Amino acid sequence: MSNRGNFSSRLGFILAAAGSAVGLGNIWRFPYLAGQNGGAAFLLIYLICVFMLCFPVMIGEIAIGRKVQSDAYGSYQKLGGGKWGYLGLFGILAGIFILSFYNVVAGWAFGYFLEISFGNLLDEKDFGAFFGSYINNVWTILSFSLGFMVITAVIVSQGIQKGIEAANKIMMPALYLILIGLIIYSLTLPNAMEGVKFYLVPNLSNITLQTLFDGLRQAFFSLSLGMGCLITYGSYVGKNQNIVSSAAIITMADTSVAFLAGLMVFPMVAAINAYDVQGPSLVFVVLAQVFHNMGPMAGRIVGGSFFLLLCFAALTSTISLLEVPAAYLVDQKKLPRKPVVWGLALLIFVLGLPCLVSQGKVEFLSHLFFYKDRDFLTFVSDMCDISLTVGGCLMCIFIRYRWKINNMNEELAIGNPTYLGSMLQKYINITILWVCPILLGILSIGVIIDKFFGLEWIFG
Ligand code: PFF
């Protein structure tokens, strides 16, 4: 293999890709989207999106990356020629913007981890008000976000094996352990079963078009699809590895963490009857309150563990987000890794500043007139979501019309000799050729209309 680096083993790749997938999306965003969309009804739609649309796209991305062994731009460019490289660039840009806002939220989590662990929240009474003012503490959040970006850059600058793989090998098992511990605790809380019921018994009347749109964009975001992240990670995978089974494990690892995060959060919501707390503040408000109610010592330990979990999850994702543009500059412009990583980290940190002050500090960024009065962080996050489903749709079109499905199948058969002719191969072919491009195309247009005009615009 060339000297661009590679994962040392199959486990190394799976942990790194699962680490990219498991992130704030699973632990911070999935529970609040499930809460807003009627709990189990959302879970159901989410699972359908994951297995019907996301799993095939993931396989396609890894196959493209491993075939060419290049960054997202280089992969599309070499396989497709012409202007196809732009599709890779589009993904790289999306990754840069995702990281810019993601790092701000990671800064909130990092801040909460330190505050709770040091017992600084012991006297708080109203956690809703506290959260609102905390994230507007610009200098505090600025330093935590900067700290987070520095840790990300330190890891990515060490390269694939010594940086990304090594970090994931420590953080991913730790993350699972903390999560399981917290679920066990959560299920012992008063009213826990009521929370579990809210989460797990589907009320089909809650399924609307909104549920479908939210489920789809969440699934793409959660699995890190549509922006070349798995093309980049796939480019470091050895030719002897079985892509399809690795993708299945990554998908299941990510989905199980999202599912388990809900199982941890909803009993806590039920314990303090906080079903009315909705949206991005859910874990910062409800969970902080629950930890506070536990008393000083236990609250610090359990609360600290939870926010550490959130930080680990975020970090395994931020390193993958930074690796995507870094790989592009290293592979295409032949620049040295270390300065590239630090330069990008600084640039992306600065790019995130408008998001950082959009939570009330700067008026016009907090209420965008062209975006239904919503804030700039939400705007960037929504635009990125749209670019992921569009990116996934275009990837399928690329495979269908340019690379050709037979070439993809040949790549998938390397390391997986029984793949050709199997039922799974037929399923993946049909989804990549027909189901994904059509549904992703329609749904992406639906999400755009929903975001800018509202669904009333279509249905009156
Ligand atoms: N999958 C991550 C999460 O769920 O938090 C976010 C993410 C990481 C999206 C990497 C896209 C990406 F390329």
Cα of 189 to ligand 1 centre, how many Å?
Answer: 31
Q: Decide if 4 is inside a domain.
A: no
Cα of 92 to ligand 1 centre, how many Å?
Answer: 13
d(Cα 194, Cα 213) in Å, to the nearest integer?
A: 27
Q: Decide if 155 is inside a domain.
A: yes
- The residue contributing the CA closest to ligand 1 atom 7 is 224
**Given ligand 1 and candidates 97, 105, 175, 224, which is best to mutate, with the most ligand atoms within 8 Å of its CB?**
224
Q: How many domains does the chain have?
A: 1
Q: Decide if 1 is inside a domain.
A: no
Per-residue pLDDT of the chain (460 residues; tens, 9 = 90+): 457 899 999 999 999 999 999 999 999 999 999 988 888 889 999 999 999 999 999 999 999 999 999 999 999 999 999 999 999 999 999 999 999 999 999 999 999 999 999 999 878 889 999 999 999 999 999 999 999 999 999 999 999 999 999 999 999 999 999 999 999 999 999 999 999 999 999 888 888 888 999 999 999 999 999 999 999 999 999 999 999 999 999 999 999 999 999 999 999 999 999 988 888 889 999 999 999 999 999 999 999 999 999 999 999 999 999 999 999 999 999 999 999 999 999 999 999 999 999 999 999 999 999 999 999 999 999 999 999 999 999 999 999 999 999 999 999 999 999 999 999 999 999 999 999 999 999 999 998 998 888 877 766 5
Q: Decide if 180 is inside a domain.
A: yes
Q: Which domain holds residue 161?
A: 10-459
Atom of ligand 1 nearest to the CA of 230: 13
Q: Decide if 2 is inside a domain.
A: no
Q: Decide if 3 is inside a domain.
A: no
What CATH number should be reported for the domain holding residue 45? 1.20.1740
Cα of 222 to ligand 1 centre, how many Å?
Answer: 5
Cα of 7 to ligand 1 centre, how many Å?
Answer: 19
Atom of ligand 1 nearest to the CA of 21: 1
Cα of 317 to ligand 1 centre, how many Å?
Answer: 6
Q: Decide if 420 is inside a domain.
A: yes
- The residue contributing the CA closest to ligand 1 atom 11 is 224
Atom of ligand 1 nearest to the CA of 30: 4
**Given ligand 1 and candidates 57, 90, 221, 395, which is best to mutate, with the most ligand atoms within 8 Å of its CB?**
221
Q: Decide if 5 is inside a domain.
A: no
pTM (predicted TM-score) = 0.96
Give ligand 1 pocket residues (Cβ under 6 A).
20-21, 23-26, 95, 98, 221-222, 224, 227, 229, 317, 320-321
